[in-house]
Structure formats: structure tokens, C-alpha cells
């Protein structure tokens, strides 16, 4: 799997910089980062107070983005 930690490492090897996300760089992928960024933008635009998800992995990744961006007050798992 090509996660963002690997991309960060390879970028450094050739003198480039890919900013790591310390909370998820070992599990996140580029596609996941792009999707998360779009989700955070949507949450901020709609000023949602609570995000509800059924997927624990999604909850974990979105929690990181929500804390970083201040995009919602809380996130809940329905399981």
C-alpha cells in the first residue's frame, strides 16, 4: 500500500516535501487525503454540529480532520 508516510519519505529522497499528517500518515492514502479535505470543506460550509458514521475507520480518519479544521463540534459512531 502506498500511504502518505511512504510518499513523504520518497519526496524527501529527491529533495521535495510532502507534508505528513502525523495522526494518519501510516494508514492514509492520497485518495483518502483528497476525500477528507473535500469532506472537511463541505462540513465547514454547511456548519454541521455533529457528524454521524457507521464505519469506525471513517470515524477515526474524520476525527483527525475535524479536530484539525474545527469543522464540527463532534463525531459519533452509530454502532
Q: Which of 73, 65, 52, 55 is nearest to 24 (CA)?
A: 65
Place of cell 507534508: 19
Q: How far apart are CA 66 and CA 20, in angstroms?
A: 17
What are the C-alpha distances in Å from 2 to residues 10, 28, 38, 43? 11, 9, 20, 27
Residue 22 grid cell: 502525523
Q: Which domain holds residue 13?
A: 4-77
pLDDT level of residue 7 (50, 70, 90 thresholds): confident
- Is the pLDDT reported for residue 13 higher than 80? yes
- Is the pLDDT reported for residue 20 higher than 70? no
Q: Count structural domains, the chain.
A: 1
Model pTM score: 0.59
Amino acid at each position: 500500500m502506498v500511504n502518505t508516510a511512504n510518499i513523504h519519505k520518497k519526496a524527501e529522497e529527491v529533495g521535495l516535501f510532502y507534508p505528513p499528517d502525523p495522526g494518519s500518515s501510516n494508514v492514509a492514502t492520497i485518495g483518502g487525503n483528497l476525500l477528507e479535505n473535500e469532506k472537511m470543506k463541505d462540513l465547514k460550509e454547511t456548519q454541521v454540529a455533529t457528524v454521524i458514521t457507521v464505519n469506525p475507520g471513517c470515524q477515526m480518519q474524520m476525527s483527525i480532520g475535524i479536530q484539525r479544521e474545527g469543522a464540527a463540534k463532534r463525531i459519533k459512531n452509530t454502532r
